[in-house]
Chains A and B, each alone.
Chain A
């Protein structure tokens, strides 16, 4: 166990691409955590997907041994936090495990919305913030402007911000010294009952569930029977250790230390982020504050493109859940898409990540239905139902009113794109709360319905701001509004996978867009096909797929028979995946394409 006086626990807060992972690599390298040959770019982002996207999904940690200028040896624990709004709660818990944070800001780009949200969380957790200006070696760096901006926007003193270049290694010494000198040492008595924060957990094929903890008081060692207080389960500790960044066994973890334990835990779902770990026979008096179970906010249907992949999809979802208890799934069936799963996620990015991992790590071809949120249906009989699948929508006459979740969003955008961004937010039923300027960048706060944000808002925001806008949100409240189920009908029959719950004012535009899109995707046939969007029985948009006018081979003689018949066979094979709507059969591909382009 290290002496708490010589421990410094810190996080790095940075916007994507501002150099967090590169800085972490430099710090590890500098302290000899890994041999040079072992360094791959961005050591901490171990998952392929994380590395590729430059974002962190699971919190990770590394213990650095550093001999400071004062000649003393220090233990520096870096906790690498998830960098996205969907994981705000996980970020919060990671920050709660630290005494300080490096605030890394790109010296030419300045502060972004995501940075802002995380730094406020750090301040709320009472962390010492050390501003670092990265990429100072670039010609476009404007340290003075960015320092002023940090002070303006965040409201912290940034005069002694450290100029560095994580890429070249310039200024890394200064960062390490600042950690030792400016961050407080952790407090906590070693002989007190164990109280540790469960920072994260994941499934390791060799070790089982690995639990990342920050010890606040007391100590944890092999052979101790621990209790997870929120989960109310007990486990025998098999092993405790630290990350350097490779996992290394130690005898015990004491106050201020960050490390892992394994305790033959089978299900990662039992180890919820934010839970308090204590000793069963000598429990701490009070659990740590702020525990929140993870809640799914965004939902969608996930279907295999090939029905034969259904079992694979189920197994893959189960495997993914081993490592990520924050998403849920249950089976659902769709007339248009066959068998699949209704899945719930922490947010949009989380949804995207799970989809990509299913496709990439498990080699599945998938189609997802439009993302949905949880609606509260207040029924005329006084009941309240929570609905996230349009298919479950009750008969409208029995609904007294419907509430939907709203978010509070913060968007930072260069002035020249502000008009477009405001227009987008207004289109999405947004209500402006605040608009301020930081230099030539506007910071605008909006109240927005979440269902408008899950529907291609990110993409539109990126496109109207040419990628310069940054965005952050948190769930705010539920509000009553005029929400309706919009169905898409083909020849008068509903295509269940395309139904959505929308605000009445937005239904016509979205319905028309969907009909137009389908018109181009549904192959023409012998009969004209009506494509309609409807609210209840009322049609609000209609397109017609014209009947084929001419489709016949000009030549077909004795030598053509075999080849042309094979073309027919191909058409026939395609028909296996068709569903009948009235007089016509529509290939599943048309709906799949509609869902894809609708993303």
Chain B
């Protein structure tokens, strides 16, 4: 299952900055941004994701924009289980095999299972997915100092469908040096796990399946202000609330139950997460131009939720102008999060099973750094291209204090390393 892309990310900025820019688009012209991204994790997931988006001025500063995204993913995904000194056998999500999840690469006969070598992080090798997403936004001045942006987005995969509508309203004050924005997003998700959603906390071998279709609703609220500081700098501050209700569990993730002495896995339970989540975040972004050409951008986000996850994200870029039409832009991002309250590396046989538990590494305590470089060229006023190379490294606690027995010899939170290559081409027609 692949998650829905947040096409609306940056929408706020579109609204708040449209007045600042004052840029003119020719009527009848479409400004098109296209890109393709190649994402490759070491020994895990590979993805290809082409995007095309178009923006057209309908006149009187009324702007229509559309975006189409495809992506295809293949490879292996960590299933949540701990490594063992012995060969481990897991059931595929499709159970008896023949599902859409792809080929069974395990050694078990008849499909429906895969095996993992000793002392190896268990990865589900049958991961395969494709997604298409479409979004549209209509941005319109409603009064001299107000704008309204309405949009919808739709995303579909073979086991996940999402439909969202959103609205943003903007009010400019202080000679348009201050833009106040507020908005809301409502999203309806339908999750159709391959073979049905597993009954939470049941053993993997039993393959006890629950409902074929699960649902979730998400309500987001956003409040923001963008302030022109001076002739060359801007500051944006956002405050966001997000309430999600419904199926939040990952139907393909499991938790190992290990022997209380040896630490060897005895069985695997399907994970279970709370059925609601409340998130808050504060986001700040600062942008400044130096020497009339180079641009420094810094952003920070603090997020906290009622799952116990707190995170800090720092992001820095500096765009060096190389002559009139070239630029070079280094990028540095640092991310740090605390673990969710119900995150566990493993469960111990004999202990009471918690009502909510997940061993999904994405809910564990971690740090992540991204380093990247982008090179771009503006060919003329209507054509430009760029290439971006990035490296993502995620690290966690490989030897947690709760490990015992054979677990002390294992890497319980292996690094995740990914390489990202992206090409952009923008044109007008």
Indicate whether A and B interact. Answer: no
